[in-house]
């Protein structure tokens, strides 16, 4: 096993260990949220199983942490087929992909996360594999090199991406099904938290679950991480129940305020108010002020602040939303700012 493969399997092991800390749905009924998408995928998988055919190639796109990998695992379970999971950036050589494709059994699922980050040479190998279920293998070097067509079993490729616009046209056109995952509502996240709490053996009421859900940025993965930290807090304080009081204390301990904002969220908003009287301000300037990468601000923090109605994007830069300005000015008034 070479060093790259060792790194790949280590990452896979770490991912599996993290998943063991969460409740893993096995059926569409156990998977909470995304009702319309879930209904569609249930129909697609059931129809393919009835025809005894592989599911058509599927592209799932949307922000990270919404359950794309979990849905792929559920589809494999429903269809009674195997699934292999890998990440686009990890597929550096065509031989890696050929080895994976050659090992797939009929109707198996190959799930490639962050498929938009896959190298171009790997993507070209996928074209024939997806359409004709074969791969072209080059044997030899130089003038004596020969191309051999290697047949593979019919399979389903499920690609997951957080940036669908970065997918090439030829690759996107080869997916028969394209579906988007939306952010979750607080109530949906509360149901996921209550479900996970049973798995973690911690008692929590609906009000506390909704409070956690409101701080989870519309993302189940974040909701589960917060719940695990609250469990730690409850355990250390010798409490078996995560009531509303304990949850509020835990959130403050984690740096999450009453508005559901984290430390960086508040830093972004306070800097726009204190240094630019509410904005607008350019993204690069803002990144320099708070010491954070501009891409991280744009992809991790901005979507939540935009959905909360606290931030706006304009041609001149970022600015505090007009309706949120009085509240935020009052909120940050006690801090050392340059508020006008």
Active site residues: 68-69, 113, 162, 221
C-alpha 282: how far from chain center: 27
- Nearest C-alpha neighbor of 101 from the set 151, 26, 170, 37: 151
User: 235: which 2 tokens?
Assistant: 């355990």
Question: How far, in whole angstroms, is CA 260 from its chain's centroid?
Answer: 20
Report the SS3 class of residue 317.
strand
| Cα angle 160-9-222, degrees, rounded to a multiple of 5 | 50
Compute and round to an integer the Cα radius of gyration of the chain: 23
CA distance 253 to 229: 10
Q: Which residues of 148-177 are buried (b: 16+ CB within 10 A; e: fewer)?
A: eeeebeebbbbbbbbebeebeeebbebbee
Q: Can you say how many angstroms the Cα of residue 160 is from the centroid of all Cα atoms in its chain?
A: 9
Query: Residue 142, Cβ neighbours under 10 Å: how many?
Result: 5
Strand 203-204 and strand 241-242: the pairing is parallel
**By CB neighbour count within 10 A (0-12 exposed, 13-18 middle, 19+ buried), where does 178 fall?**
middle
Beta-carbon-side half-sphere exposure of residue 89 (alpha carbons within 13 Å): 5
């Amino acid at each position: 096993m070479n060093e790259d493969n060792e790194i790949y399997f280590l990452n896979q092991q770490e991912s599996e260990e993290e998943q063991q800390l969460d409740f893993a749905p096995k059926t569409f009924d156990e998977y909470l949220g995304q009702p319309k998408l879930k209904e569609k995928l249930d129909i697609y998988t059931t129809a393919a199983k009835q025809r005894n055919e592989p599911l058509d190639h599927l592209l799932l796109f949307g922000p990270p942490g919404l359950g794309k990998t979990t849905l792929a695992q559920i589809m494999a379970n429903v269809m009674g087929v195997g699934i292999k999971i890998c990440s686009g950036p990890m597929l550096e050589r065509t031989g890696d992909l050929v080895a994976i494709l050659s090992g797939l059994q009929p109707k198996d699922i190959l799930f490639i996360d962050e498929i938009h980050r896959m190298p171009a040479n790997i993507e070209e190998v996928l074209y024939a594999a997806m359409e004709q279920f074969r791969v072209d293998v080059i044997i030899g070097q130089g003038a004596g090199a020969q191309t051999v067509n290697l047949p593979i079993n019919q399979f389903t490729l499920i690609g997951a991406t957080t940036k669908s616009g970065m997918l090439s046209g030829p690759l996107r056109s080869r997916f028969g099904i394209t579906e988007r995952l939306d952010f979750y509502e607080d109530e949906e996240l509360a149901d996921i938290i209550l479900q996970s709490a049973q798995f973690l053996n911690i008692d929590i009421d609906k009000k506390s679950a909704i409070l956690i859900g409101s701080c989870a940025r519309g993302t189940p993965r974040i909701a589960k991480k917060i719940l695990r930290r609250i469990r730690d807090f409850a355990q250390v304080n010798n409490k078996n129940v995560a009531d509303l009081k304990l949850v509020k204390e835990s959130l403050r301990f984690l740096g999450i305020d009453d508005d559901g904002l984290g430390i960086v969220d508040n830093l972004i908003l306070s800097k726009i108010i204190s240094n630019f009287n509410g904005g607008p301000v350019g993204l690069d300037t803002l990144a320099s002020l708070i010491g954070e990468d501009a891409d991280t601000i744009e992809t991790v923090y901005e979507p939540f602040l935009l959905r909360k109605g606290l931030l706006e994007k304009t041609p001149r830069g970022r600015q505090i939303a007009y309706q949120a300005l009085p509240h935020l000015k009052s909120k940050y008034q006690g801090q050392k700012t340059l508020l006008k």
